[in-house]
Amino acid sequence: MTEPKKIVLLGATGSIGENTLQVVRKHPDRLKLVGISAHSNAEKLAQIATEFNVPHAYLPEAAGKAENFPSATKLDRSADGLLSLASLDNADLVVIAVVGASGLSPTLAALQAGKNIVLANKESLVLGGDLVMQAAKENQAKVYPRTVSTMQFFNVFRVKTSAILIQSFLLPQEAHFVNYRSKSSNM
């Protein structure tokens, strides 16, 4: 029998995190959580750590009290804790399910550590698509898009198409990111 794939789940308490947890529940012989993070829901993160016997967790100090974590879970609350978790030595795969621009730094950290990633954060590609793809290539890591919109962005950056095509995938409220970037960097 082969060892289970070791997974770090960034954004474990959100909807994509919950979907990922359902998959891990269904396949405990093939998947093992070794790291989890949340932005603010300490109670739910502690419950996940307990249920899955997770050895590493990250919760920012700004999230307030962190109670009820199992003693076997090393809880990191430092400023660079999310980046450390994203590049955890024994992880085989990092799921990036954090919201917004905050996903870019852990995405790059995981790729620079040679980790394959599942990317559910399209903002990482909007803001740093070229950096993400370059980091993946240089470190022989794979990027697996998790959502349809992330897949669309991934395909755009993989084949180097124009900002106009990128805009066709954006919701109207998201278009200003590309307009700003294309003007400022001649994308």
For 64-92, how does the pLDDT look when each residue is reduced to its tens digit (9 = 90+)? 788 899 999 999 999 999 999 999 999 99
What pLDDT does 171 receive?
43
What pLDDT does 53 receive?
97
Q: What is the spatial distance between Cα 47 and Cα 38, in angstroms, rounded to a whole number?
A: 12
The pTM assigned to this predicted structure is: 0.78
Q: What is the spatial distance between Cα 25 and Cα 63, in angstroms, rounded to a whole number?
A: 27
The domain spans of the chain are 5-146
Q: What is the spatial distance between Cα 134 and Cα 17, in angstroms, rounded to a whole number?
A: 26
> What is the pLDDT confidence band of residue 170, given thresholds at 50, 70 and 90?
very low
> Could you give the strand order of the β-sheet that contains 74-76, starting from the edge strand earlier in sequence?
74-76, 56-58, 31-37, 5-10, 93-96, 116-119, 143-145
Q: Which of 137, 98, 136 is nearest to 117 (CA)?
A: 136
Q: What is the mean pLDDT of residues 134-150?
A: 78
Residues 76, 68 contacting (CB under 8 angstroms): no
Tell how many helices (H) and how many strands (E) occur in the chain: 8, 7
Q: Which of 50, 153, 55, 53 is nearest to 96 (CA)?
A: 153
What pLDDT does 174 receive?
42
Residues 59, 45 contacting (CB under 8 angstroms): yes
Tell me the average pLDDT of the chain: 80
CATH class of 5-146: alpha beta
Interacting residues of 76 by C-beta distance below 8 A, sequence separation 6+: 56, 57, 58, 59, 84, 85
What pLDDT does 15 receive?
86
3-state percent helix, strand, coil for the chain, nearest multiple of 5? 50, 15, 35
